[in-house]
Amino acid sequence: MEDDAPVIYGLEFQARALTPQTAETDAIRFLVGTQSLRYDNQIHIIDFDDENNIINKNVLLHQVGEIWHISTSPADKGVLATCYNKTSDTKVMTCAAVWRMPKELESGSHESPDDSSSNTQTLELLCHLDNTAHGNMACVMWEPMGDGKKIISLADNNILLWDLEESSAKAVLSSSAALEGKGQLKFTSGRWSPHHNCTQIATANDTTVRGWDTRSMRQIYCIENAHGQLVRDLDFNPNKQYYLASCGDDCKVKFWDTRNVTEPVKTLEEHSHWVWNVRYNHSHDQLILTGSSDSRVILSNMVSISSEPFGHMVDDDELSDQEDQHQEEKIKEPLQDSVIATYEEHEDSVYAVEWSSADPWLFASLSYDGRLVINRVPRALKYHILL
């Protein structure tokens, strides 16, 4: 029985890094990275059994340091990248590395081991992304729909494009670009666009959003003062190639058409504190998830700027005359944008929200106190979208 009730899991560690296992499209699976200064850090592999509404977990040790960002290969279920803090000679550096999980844990739908004390396993280090010359790593992005051989990392004011060679045992820097100008130039986040043959990325630094061409490593658009304060996160609409969402410390979520960046196409002002994360649903791009320091997760229905602004198109042949008339009246009016639901299961800042890569109606959110919540799109809305 499918239930709309949330499922909650406590990690017992502070955490801010969350990702779906991108290459796993059959089982519902998320990876969470911990932030602990006192203990060895861990990656929790969370398998959600949606038939029984229970979570199974496996724990991997990540001994190199606290995890700030985690991302998974689009092609190989066992491969992931982390950005983590490393302390040496009283200096803290944020480094990045590519890892492989144990073979038996690569695929989803694992039961939790009975004896929790013996179940921590270790990650195999594949390679470091050498950042000695480039500064602190903010994030690692994998080429969308790629073969898992190309990644981009953002380090301070540098964009670094790497080729993973020898089964990911070696990362070769193939090209790079640097942000130039006055002031504190540091990337906070970035996203690789699934459109334009995967040749474009967007980055955020301070209040500015920029687009880059990965072939020339040149800037292709710039949205200055995209937000009144720091831009925290970006995401591309999976179905509309020029549409980009951004969110930030001004409590706003903005939607942009990158062909004309003078004004946002739409602005959402539903959160009361910094917005850390914005995510488009992979299949139904009107569904937008946001997470904030106000401890709330908001699911919005942004139909007016989606790829189906008039809702689901119905074939004329299927309608009777009466329905036909009703349908024509309905089609004239685009559907209204609205907040579908506000989720209040967290009591601390929500640093990450992510859709499942296996089930388009399911998402996870993570707050700093280590609480992971799995929720579903309300059933009524799901059927409204589908029917």
User: Could you tell me which of 344, 382, 336, 350 has the C-alpha nearest to residue 247?
Assistant: 350
Q: How far apart are CA 240 and CA 287, in angstroms?
A: 13
CB–CB of 239/193 below 8 Å? no
Confirm whether pTM is higher than 0.85.
yes
Residue ranges and CATH numbers for the domains of the chain are: 8-105+119-178 (2.130.10.10), 183-308+333-386 (2.130.10.10)
Q: Which H helix or E strand runs over 379?
A: helix 379-386
Token pair of 338, please?
């609205």
Look up residue 335 and give its DSSP letter: P
Q: Strand 243-248 vs strand 253-257: parallel, antiparallel, or unpaired?
A: antiparallel
What is the chain's pLDDT, residue by residue, as a tens digit (387 residues)?
Answer: 456 789 999 998 999 999 999 999 999 999 999 999 888 999 999 999 999 999 999 999 999 999 999 999 999 999 999 999 998 778 889 999 999 999 999 987 666 666 555 578 999 999 999 888 889 999 999 999 889 999 999 999 999 999 999 889 999 999 999 998 876 689 999 999 999 999 999 999 999 999 999 999 999 999 999 999 999 999 999 999 999 999 999 999 999 999 999 999 999 999 999 999 999 999 999 999 999 999 999 999 999 999 987 765 444 444 455 555 555 554 445 678 999 999 999 999 999 999 999 999 999 999 999 999 999 999 888 888 876
R_g over Cα of the chain: 21
**Quick one: residue 311, left, alpha or beta (phi over 0 = left, psi -120 to 50 = alpha)?**
left
Angle, vertex CA 70, rays to CA 67 and CA 75, nearest 5: 150
Q: Which H helix or E strand runs over 54?
A: strand 54-62
Look up residue 197 and give its DSSP letter: G
